[in-house]
């Protein structure tokens, strides 16, 4: 593992995307969302994307200076065309709009299509919560890797769902996960460490149980989490994120651009229902009580968001660990672009 | 098993609640929601509640003629005081209002507190979908029976979540489930049949794995579904259904009334994002394709709602099966109220 500071990584990412033609502002924002994923422990959505996005920019899938535009709007809702710019820019515009609308109408709903990969959903929903609103986001991934319940073969993407709730004087409650048992990145990590995986993560190409992470590369697929219950959520995300916004479904035979997202966001003002401060403070009390529930021997009770915010604290202090080969890819990319990666180390 | 027709059961339920003082309209509506649960195969939320609600009415927990009132309102949102009337009446008023608001504002959000047990959430969300809107409902149950992830002991109720989406010329997509592995009713059914249960359903009072459904009566608890992912959803339902609406949390030491629900409903007009008919028709296409995905040997691929709508067809045709002892309780209750149960058989 190489360890790098988040500040330096943000600067390096900014230089990379700027060198590829994006404005400095856009580059800096996209880089900071990726570093934020690494900071919160979601390495699969973190700085490894410096390289993947660069590849997509070079292939013409990401139009680095495209700005999202509203194509439909009411007091409480909007539909946004992301115009194949950075997914992050469109997702951020979506939640800003959702909050603006919730500020006026208590609730705001915003859909977005023609988004590239938007990264980690929790970035946007926790931003909503930090404005004092409740946030939800459903994002379909038009690149299939997960089967349906009782099905064989890849049907939908990892279709993540996220929700975040403001907590008084504290980091927000943050639910943020793929509707597959695990994100695809966890299988890759096990593969690179030559480790076995639990048998409920994936199936091989014949539909057999397997603990071999290589099976995923050889035509295998991820399973939806929580049997039929997670599967229902996987499908709901497809309908809201994908179909409602007019985005590409996992079922579509198209495969370019490589990882389009359809994004549906909701913001809710707690003040429409009760005193905002009381709500955030009662939420804090509930979460504290949950953390103090008697625990199974050897296990710790966390509430949604705890792992992220704790990892963030630690990585801000001690730096972000990056696997050697991922760092080498970033170094190589930087050199190709005439950027000295050592300067950011 | 005793088998009864849904029409006769509706009439019997109406007579029962009317005899207990509810207006005929209210009685008929509540009875029909319970019979609808039985029709769709959710027997745990069905006609067995004729007896349980009657008991709660007699104990003064349900004020049979109380009407819900709005206590807060904007164009797109409302908060409703259920005034401890029938939970069904308040839940129905909530979704009617949510749809009214979504009709004007594309999205509508309605919270409700002081609700008694509202029954099966899918009744309300699928009603929303039948109006052409997307529905979501989060209901906390202020009566703890489920542990938190890695925790010991009962902390929250079964905290159900439901979502429904209109499908062109077809029954709606319907996600409708407890955030515990199973509803408490499934454990009771295994108990009454002297059957073992899977080891991932409950823990005994010491926190040990068990396949004995009796352990639930002896201080055991249900587990949240899908490990930490279902647990996150369980907590989200508590925050939206319970805390946001100002309802009793599962963590509150109060235990009367016995099964209060806090209810948060959202309705979304697909027309705010794309052509309504196209949306419903594309949803139909996606669901059809999912059903035709290659399946695991011996398994059938269903989409959310299929089990409910298929069971409903069958039970409309062949009648609703009711366990002997449950029917005897209904018979006894009817006789106490001077109603001839044979007349409805």
Average pLDDT over residues B43-68: 96
Of the listed ranges A40-44, B287-291, B332-336, the least confidently predicted one is: A40-44
In this prediction, residue B112 carries a pLDDT of 98
Q: How far apart are CA B14 and CA A89, in angstroms?
A: 56
Could you give the percent of chain B with pLDDT greater than 90?
92
B230/A77 Cβ within 8 A: no
Task: Tell me the chain A residues in contact with residue B304 when contact means C-beta distances shorter than 8 Å.
Answer: 231-232, 235-236
In this prediction, residue B189 carries a pLDDT of 81
The mean of the pLDDT values for chain A is: 96
In this prediction, residue B343 carries a pLDDT of 84
In this prediction, residue A275 carries a pLDDT of 98
pLDDT interval class at A104 (50, 70, 90): very high
In this structure, is the dihedral angle defined by the CA atoms of residues A212, A214, A220 and A222, taken in order, positive or negative? positive
Task: Tell me the chain A residues in contact with residue B227 when contact means C-beta distances shorter than 8 Å.
Answer: 225-226
A232/B148 Cβ within 8 A: no
In this prediction, residue A344 carries a pLDDT of 79
Nearest residue on chain A to B266, judged by CA atoms? Answer: A107
Could you give the percent of chain A with pLDDT greater than 70?
100
Task: Tell me the chain A residues in contact with residue B114 when contact means C-beta distances shorter than 8 Å.
Answer: none
Average pLDDT over residues B9-38: 98
pLDDT beyond 90 at A253 = no
Closest CA of chain A from B63, distance in Å: 24
Closest CA of chain B from A59, distance in Å: 30
pLDDT, tens only, B73-96? 999 999 999 999 999 999 999 999
Nearest residue on chain B to A179, judged by CA atoms? Answer: B229
Of the candidates B151, B268, B272, the beta carbon closest to that of A294 is on B151
Of the candidates A245, A286, A301, the beta carbon closest to that of B238 is on A286
Q: How far apart are CA B310 and CA B212, in angstroms?
A: 31
pLDDT interval class at A55 (50, 70, 90): very high
pLDDT beyond 80 at B220 = yes
Q: How many CB atoms lie within 10 A of CB A217?
A: 11
The mean of the pLDDT values for chain B is: 96
For B265, the enclosing helix (H) or strand (E) is: strand B261-268
Of the candidates A76, A246, A273, the beta carbon closest to that of B79 is on A273
pTM over 0.90: yes
Closest CA of chain A from B77, distance in Å: 6
In this prediction, residue B309 carries a pLDDT of 98
Contact, B338 vs B60, CB < 8 A?
A: no
Closest CA of chain A from B80, distance in Å: 9
Which residues on neighbouring strands pair with residue A151, listed in sequence order?
B295
Q: How many CA atoms lie within 13 A of B42 on its CB side?
A: 23
The domains found in chain A, sorted by start residue, are 1-65+301-345 (1.10.1530.10), 66-180+224-291 (3.30.1370.60)
pLDDT, tens only, A71-102? 999 999 999 999 999 999 999 999 999 999 99
A152/B296 Cβ within 8 A: yes
Task: Tell me the chain A residues in contact with residue B177 when contact means C-beta distances shorter than 8 Å.
Answer: 229, 232
- DSSP string for A203-244: E-TTS-B---GGGGTTT-EEPBTTHHHHHHHHHHHIIIIIIT
- Nearest residue to B236 (alpha-carbon basis) of B163, B130, B185: B163
In this prediction, residue A128 carries a pLDDT of 98
Closest CA of chain A from B294, distance in Å: 5
Higher-confidence position of B266 and B256: B266
Q: What number of residues does chain A have?
A: 345
Of the candidates B240, B266, B273, the beta carbon closest to that of A244 is on B273
In this prediction, residue B344 carries a pLDDT of 79
Going through B117-179 in order, the beta strands assigned E by DSSP cover: 134-141, 161-165, 173-177
Closest CA of chain B from A301, distance in Å: 6
In this prediction, residue A234 carries a pLDDT of 98
pLDDT beyond 90 at B261 = yes
pLDDT, tens only, A206-252? 999 999 999 999 999 999 999 999 999 999 999 999 999 999 999 98
Task: Tell me the chain B residues in contact with residue A274 when contact means C-beta distances shorter than 8 Å.
Answer: 79, 244-246
Contact, B86 vs B257, CB < 8 A?
A: no
Of the candidates A225, A232, A304, the beta carbon closest to that of B304 is on A232
Contact, B239 vs A165, CB < 8 A?
A: yes
């Amino acid at each position: 593992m190489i360890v790098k500071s988040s500040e330096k990584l943000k600067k390096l990412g900014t230089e990379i995307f700027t060198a590829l033609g994006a404005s400095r502002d856009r580059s800096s924002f996209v880089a900071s969302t990726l570093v934020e994923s690494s900071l919160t422990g979601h390495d699969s959505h973190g700085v490894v994307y410096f390289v993947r996005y660069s590849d997509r920019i070079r292939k013409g899938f990401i139009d680095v200076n495209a700005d999202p535009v509203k194509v439909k709007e009411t007091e409480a809702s909007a539909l946004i065309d992301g115009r194949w710019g950075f997914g992050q820019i469109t997702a951020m515009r979506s939640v800003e709009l959702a909050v603006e609308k919730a500020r006026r109408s208590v609730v705001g709903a915003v859909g977005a299509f023609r988004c590239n990969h938007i990264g980690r959903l929790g970035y946007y929903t926790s931003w909503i919560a930090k404005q004092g609103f409740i946030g939800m986001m459903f994002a379909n991934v038009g690149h299939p890797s997960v089967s349906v319940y009782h099905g064989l073969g890849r049907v939908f993407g990892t279709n993540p769902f996220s929700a975040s709730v403001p907590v008084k004087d504290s980091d927000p409650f943050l639910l943020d996960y793929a509707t597959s048992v695990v994100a695809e990145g966890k299988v890759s990590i096990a593969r690179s460490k030559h480790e076995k995986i639990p048998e409920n993560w994936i199936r091989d190409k014949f539909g057999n149980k397997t603990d071999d992470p290589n099976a995923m590369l050889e035509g295998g697929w991820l399973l939806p989490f929580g049997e039929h219950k997670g599967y229902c959520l996987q499908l709901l995300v497809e309908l809201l994120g994908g179909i409602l916004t007019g985005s590409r479904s996992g079922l579509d035979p198209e495969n370019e651009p490589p990882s389009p997202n359809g994004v549906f966001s909701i913001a809710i003002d707690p003040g429409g229902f009760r005193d905002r401060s009381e709500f955030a403070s009662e939420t804090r009390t509930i979460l504290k009580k949950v953390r103090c529930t008697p625990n199974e021997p050897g296990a710790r009770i966390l509430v949604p968001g705890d792992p992220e915010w704790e990892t963030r604290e630690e990585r801000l202090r001690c730096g972000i660990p990056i696997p050697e080969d991922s760092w080498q890819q970033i170094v190589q990319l930087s050199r190709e672009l005439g950027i000295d990666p050592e300067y950011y180390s």
